[in-house]
Structure 1
Amino acid sequence: MLAAILISAAAMTAIVALRYVAASGIFALITGRVRPGYHARLGPQIRREIGWSFASAAIYGIPAGIVAWGWQEHGWTQIYTGWSDYPLWYLPVSLFVYLFLHDTWFYWTHRLMHRPRWFTLAHGVHHASRPPTAWAAMSFHPIEALTGAIVVPLLVFLVPINVAVLGLVLLTMTVMGVTNHMGWEMFPRALVHSRLGGWLITASHHQLHHEKYRCNYGLYFRFWDRLCGTDRGLSPNA
């Protein structure tokens, strides 16, 4: 049993690491094409980001691997595979529920990480990326990585979700984590400045967080920032 758990944890760590390399690598290449030389002098910083990110991959991968083993071997979790197990309307609902709960957890833990003690201890690693790059999405101190790594593994025990929708949650988490750190806005201005865009977080919104620190703490949505008065709008530099 222990060997199977270790294999599952190692496999999931490898998957998380490869997912990081693929996503960050693709958007780093896009950055190089769209803004040539934008990160030309950031070689040492990018190497640090990659190093911290590989450590984070293990911290994310180990609990995910244990949960995956428990689901496959013992039916733990609320993950389901049949399309008829729940009504079809529940598929988009479960997607939104996961993203909203993840965003809620991220907002409040992120604000905690900006308290002086926690910032010095952990979150300063992430903000050492000046400016952030596509490689910085998982560049966390292990303490901060742990706060992020437990969310989805806990949610799958509480909220039913189709395995395909879970994959979409992870894809959204990966893509938004990377694109929000590129330092430039890849989405159309018409979307970013629309009513819908006013509730979504893109690079323009998160870039201002890296510039001002004490604002724009959300991950996917601007709901908690707006509600709590920490939304400062969009960066003119992204």
Structure 2
Amino acid sequence: MLWLLFLAENAAITFLVLYTGRLVQGRPYVYTRREWGICAVTNMLNTVVTYAGFWMWKEGWITITMNISWKVITDFLLLFFAMDLLMFVFHFIIHKTFLFKIVHQLHHEAVHPKPIDLFILHPVETMAFGGMWLALLLLYPFNIYAIVIYLVVNVVFGLTGHLGMEPLPAAVRNLPVVRYLGTSTFHHDHHQDVQYNFGFYTSIWDRLFGTHKH
């Protein structure tokens, strides 16, 4: 029963991403049967990751705190920047090794990404992202509210990066904090030129390691 619940949760997130993308763009997208098939596989694998996390929590391997305190903010920031760094490193490695053609090239078939491309991933890539997420939860007792906020933010950034257009005006993108975030333009530029912009939520690591495209 829990499998079905977690699958429904992941399917609902996918529907929300695709529907929101359509609203923001103001036009419907036409997806191929192949895209729907890959998207479905990604959803099933995300369900496996969700169930694995639940099982590890139930068995006491993962500890989650439930209190409302400053820990909500600090834990969210820790999750945000830790996952951003881990995904940057993984993303950089698969671009610079033989793994690109085997694993990541599928995602880069989209030169001009659209919302469903968030879920057009090789199974190895999907499980790697899920594995990094579970590893963090195993290492530290994160707050439940911080986890929920992070997961919502993760979906928002994922959708934003695959809109195929920039919803934020240049004046907003150049604000002191926003300029360091992974905007739609930031990730779209990565799909245009695979040698730059490996970050997800921020451009911090790209700026530090010289892979930021201005």
- Which of 205, 208, 214 matches 1:227? 208
Partner residue in 2 for 1:99: 80
Q: Give the superposed CA RMSD.
A: 1.8
Letter in 2 for 1:81: M
- Which of 148, 159, 165 matches 1:184? 165
Partner residue in 2 for 1:67: 53
Deviations 1:86-126 (A, max 9, x none): xx222111101101111111111111121352111011110
The answer to whether residue 200 in structure 2 is matched with residue 206 in structure 1 is no
Is the Cα–Cα contact under 8 Å of residues 215 and 232 in structure 1 kept in the other structure?
A: yes
Partner residue in 2 for 1:8: 2
- Which of 36, 44, 49 matches 2:35? 49
The answer to whether residue 15 in structure 2 is matched with residue 30 in structure 1 is no
SS in 1 for 2:192: helix
1:74, 1:121 → 2: CA distance?
35
Is the Cα–Cα contact under 8 Å of residues 64 and 153 in structure 1 kept in the other structure?
A: no
Is the Cα–Cα contact under 8 Å of residues 115 and 163 in structure 2 kept in the other structure?
A: yes
Is the Cα–Cα contact under 8 Å of residues 10 and 65 in structure 1 kept in the other structure?
A: no
Aligned pairs (5 A) from 1:42-191: 43-44=31-32, 47-71=33-57, 73-83=58-68, 88-191=69-172
* Runs of 5+ consecutive residues of structure 1 not aligned to the other structure: 1-6, 234-238
Letter in 1 for 2:66: T
SS in 2 for 1:18: helix
Q: Point out the more displaced range, 213-222 or 8-17.
A: 8-17
1:9, 1:65 → 2: CA distance?
7
1:150, 1:24 → 2: CA distance?
25
The answer to whether residue 198 in structure 2 is matched with residue 217 in structure 1 is yes
Deviation of 1:10 after TM superposition, in Å, equals: 4.2
Letter in 1 for 2:53: V
Deviations 1:164-197 (A, max 9, x none): 2211111111111011111111123222112212
Letter in 2 for 1:8: L
Partner residue in 2 for 1:4: none
1:102, 1:192 → 2: CA distance?
22
1:203, 1:51 → 2: CA distance?
25
* Runs of 5+ consecutive residues of structure 2 not aligned to the other structure: none
Give the % identical residues: 24
Is the Cα–Cα contact under 8 Å of residues 10 and 62 in structure 1 kept in the other structure?
A: no
TM-score, reference length from structure 2: 0.91
Letter in 2 for 1:147: A
1:105, 1:28 → 2: CA distance?
30
1:135, 1:183 → 2: CA distance?
11
SS in 2 for 1:201: coil
